[in-house]
Amino acid sequence: MKKYVTDRTLLLMTLLVSVGGNAQLPPVFEAARIKTAVAAETVQRYLAPVKILWRSEQAGTGIVNAERLLQQGNGQADLSNKNMCILKSDGNNRPALLLDFGRELHGGVQIVTGMHPSGKPVRIRLRFGESASEAMSDIEPEKNATNDHAIRDEVLLVPWLGKLETGNTGFRFVRIDLVDADTELQLKEVRAIFTFRDIPWKGFFNCSDTLLNRIWMTGAYTVQLNMQDYLWDGIKRDRLVWVGDMHPEIATISTVFGYNEVVPKSLDLSRDITPLPSWMNGISTYSMWWIIIHRDWYYHTGDLNYLKQQKSYLLPLLDHIISKIGNDNKEQLDGTRFLDWPSSENKKGVDAGLQAMMIWALKDGADLCRILEEPTAAARCEIALARLRKNVPDLNGSKQAAALMALTGLLPAQKANDEVLAVNGAKGFSTFYGYYMLQAMAKAGNYQGALDAIRSFWGAMLNLGATTFWEDFNLDWLPGASRIDQLPRSGEKDIHGDYGAYCYIGFRHSLCHGWASGPTPWLTQHVLGITVAAPGCKVIRVVPHLGDLRFAEGSFPTPYGPVKVKHVKQHDGRIRSSITAPPQVRIIRQ
């Protein structure tokens, strides 16, 4: 026995000395260290709900002390068993609570229990929701509540005097139901496990319109939630890398966070799982967006070594795109022909948009080829561009196509703005391509019209209780619509469950979609007037456009530190600006 104790003690001492002396740990610890280092930016924080939005009416005395759950808590079960929230069912009634955590989150929930009388685990039903009504819904076809991509509706056991953590989805609301009859559950805590990249906001925006400030921040927050293992499009559904959707998301990342490893990691994943001649995500425009993103990312980061790693894929991809030009100089793209969902039924509009997308991709591709010292490849792109510009297709009233054609010079920007984009304000806007509509309006000089569209379109989502921007939105949904942070009242339309289309009907509709963040980079670029004019942000152009704003101020991250600006409109309408920048960054002023 003494020998056993001595050997065991020596073993423990050896381990302690090894750890204290930074000697090599057993392999399992080393592997964990590596994994932690890779994901060091991702953290978890525990948040208590801010409101009990609903409790089952038939429960009567079956719910006691529910407000206990609004306390922050510490995640630890204990033997005091004081001040518990008690759910108690009988033969007829099953108590249930709907908790509101105050804003959209990514992660799951932690449930800490007390000493309920049975001394055994208790079955509960747990439902997550991005809206209050989604958390109250069943898995059924009528309003399309699903468990696609992430489980949001499940029955599970919670322990007696213990803790359970579950869930990996996007949500703001959580409903808890007691499943079985004649059962008691004691709850000490129900806390959200908020999982996110803990990274600083290096860019900021502030102006005389508080609505625009909220919109800028909401776009930034929407994208930050989707910066998980990879850059996703949605945290509840579409937890995937969609390359086209990444373009406005990466514009937001560059504007708010600067460099982040999730961008090259996601771009490289898309490249590596898509051997040529396949199109990324099966969509021809998405391979084009990959080229455009690389050009934008290089101009922001100046990372030539990373760009060189793309050459062996980039050059044949450009040749593949060029091969899709017909003898009539019209694109002949195969794969899924797609701009965004709301435009998908306008075939002529899609055709026109694809023609413009080819021009955009080959123009940026030619630029990258020159940077990579591939003049022959750049010349092939230029010849193809000249051919494509000879064909000006009918955009058939599509705001998506009008935006792309204006941005690529296929259509004069003023004409696109006056005849299509500015017609009926933000009607016909979409969450994804709204960014390009705003960009085209800016190119036409219609900055005020773009500001008004941002307020009416993205601002309407905030007025409906949104804390992140949605996969889709339509101004026609507004009359009689409910807020997402309330249960629909009699006569109201359920803004979440009653609308949506294509792949996002009803509750399947994602209410946190990164492709909807376009106003965030747009406001920085055009109101603050900050544009990258040379690779690595070594030259920044500052040309503000305040429209009806009295002032605007903010910062923009560069590899050398932030560029900071403040613009104040004088009584005579002129703008007085103050600009500071790192010494490595040259500023070109208005």
pLDDT at 172 (0 to 100): 98
Sequence-separated (6 or more) residues with CB below 8 Å from residue 391: 328, 329, 330, 355
Rounded-to-integer distance, Cα 359 and Cα 114, Å: 64
Q: What is the pLDDT of residue 205?
A: 98
Which residues, 6 or more positions from 167, have their beta carbon under 8 angstroms from its beta carbon?
107, 108, 109, 126, 128, 151, 193
- Using 50, 70 and 90 to split pLDDT, how confident is the model at 11? very low
**Type of residue at 192:** A
Kindly report which listed range (59-68, 87-96, 514-523, 527-536) carries the lowest average pLDDT score: 59-68
State the average pLDDT for the chain: 94
At 80-90, the pLDDT tens digits run: 999 999 999 99
* Range 174-192 average pLDDT: 97
Q: Which residue has the higher pLDDT, 315 or 29?
A: 315
pLDDT at 93 over 70: yes
Task: Please give the CATH topology (third level) of the domain spanning 45-197.
Answer: Jelly Rolls (2.60.120)
Alpha helices in 136-242 (DSSP H): 210-226
pLDDT (mean) for 239-259: 97
Once rounded to an integer, what is the mean pLDDT over residues 470-481? 97
Find the radius of gyration of the CA atoms of the chain.
27
323-327: long-range contacts, CB 8 A cutoff, minimum separation 24: 324/284, 324/358, 325/358, 325/384, 325/387, 325/388
Q: Are the beta carbons of 340 and 433 closer than 8 angstroms? A: yes
CA–CA separation, 349 vs 393, rounded Å? 9
Chain segment 218-245, per-residue pLDDT in tens: 999 999 999 999 999 999 999 999 999 9
| Helix%, strand%, coil% for the chain, nearest 5 | 40, 20, 40
For 518-540, how does the pLDDT look when each residue is reduced to its tens digit (9 = 90+)? 999 999 999 999 999 999 999 99
Task: Note the pLDDT of residue 58.
Answer: 72
Delimit the domains of the chain by residue range.
2-38, 45-197, 275-396
